[in-house]
Amino acid sequence: MNSFEKLRKVYEKEDEERDKLIKQSREIVKLSKKVIYSVHRHELSKAKKYLSSMQHKIRSVSDKKEPYSKIAVQEYVEAKLFYDYVNTGKLTMDKLRFDVDEVLLGICDLTGELMRYATNCFINNNFKTVLEVKKVMDTIYDELGLFDFRNSELRRKYDSIKYSVKKIDDLVIEIKKLNN
């Protein structure tokens, strides 16, 4: 029975670590939503604060190969890139040191937030920004098109980008109609 007790203790410790990882990952996902929400509301100082908090937490989960940590990293990538783009006008992917699939999934998710951002800019007659976002989205879509994604979550997310690209194309057509 001593062997079973050792196994049980190892199992309980692993289960405890898993629960801790899930909790940390959920905190990162929540912070990601707060970053994105704040950016959309032009509250960049709040977004920066949330992002800073995320950066401290992401280190503890990013090297784990659990589904929960992978989702947390994807959400972090999406929030970080969105914040950086709105704040600087550039996508700063070179400093992201995560698994390539997680970064690519986060980039795919980013296009949805860029579309939402462009729509809000269109509503506020900020047509210049809509055109800039279109260029970024076209670049992302074209660059990701050079990858040979297999039938996976990454493939499905890449395929869904075309709907955001179509929507922004429609906005640009409307801008051209308004300017004529």
Give the pLDDT of the chain (180 residues) as one tens digit per residue: 689 999 999 999 999 999 999 999 999 999 999 999 999 999 999 999 999 999 989 988 888 878 889 999 999 999 999 999 999 999 988 888 899 999 999 999 999 999 999 999 999 999 999 999 999 999 999 999 999 998 789 999 999 999 999 999 999 999 999 988
Phi and psi based region of residue 149 (left: phi greater than 0; alpha: psi -120 to 50; beta: remaining): beta
Contact in structure between 115 and 168 (CB atoms under 8 Å): yes
Set out the domains of the chain in order of their start, with CATH numbers. Answer: 1-92 (1.20.58.2140), 99-180 (1.20.58.200)
Contact in structure between 51 and 79 (CB atoms under 8 Å): yes
Burial group, residue 82, by CB count within 10 angstroms (0-12, 13-18, 19+): buried
The Cα 118–Cα 127 span in angstroms is: 9
Predicted pLDDT of residue 62: 85
Q: What global pTM score does this model have?
A: 0.92
Predicted pLDDT of residue 19: 93
Question: If we measure between CA atoms, which residue out of 117, 119, 110 comes closest to residue 139?
Answer: 110
Predicted pLDDT of residue 9: 93
Question: If we measure between CA atoms, which residue out of 125, 113, 92 comes closest to residue 41?
Answer: 113
Burial group, residue 90, by CB count within 10 angstroms (0-12, 13-18, 19+): exposed
* Per-residue exposure over 69-80, b if at least 16 CB sit within 10 Å of its own CB, e if not: bbbbbbbbbbbb
| Sign of the CA dihedral running 31, 18, 156, 144 | positive
Predicted pLDDT of residue 1: 63
Angle at 119 between CA 28 and CA 41, to 5 degrees: 45
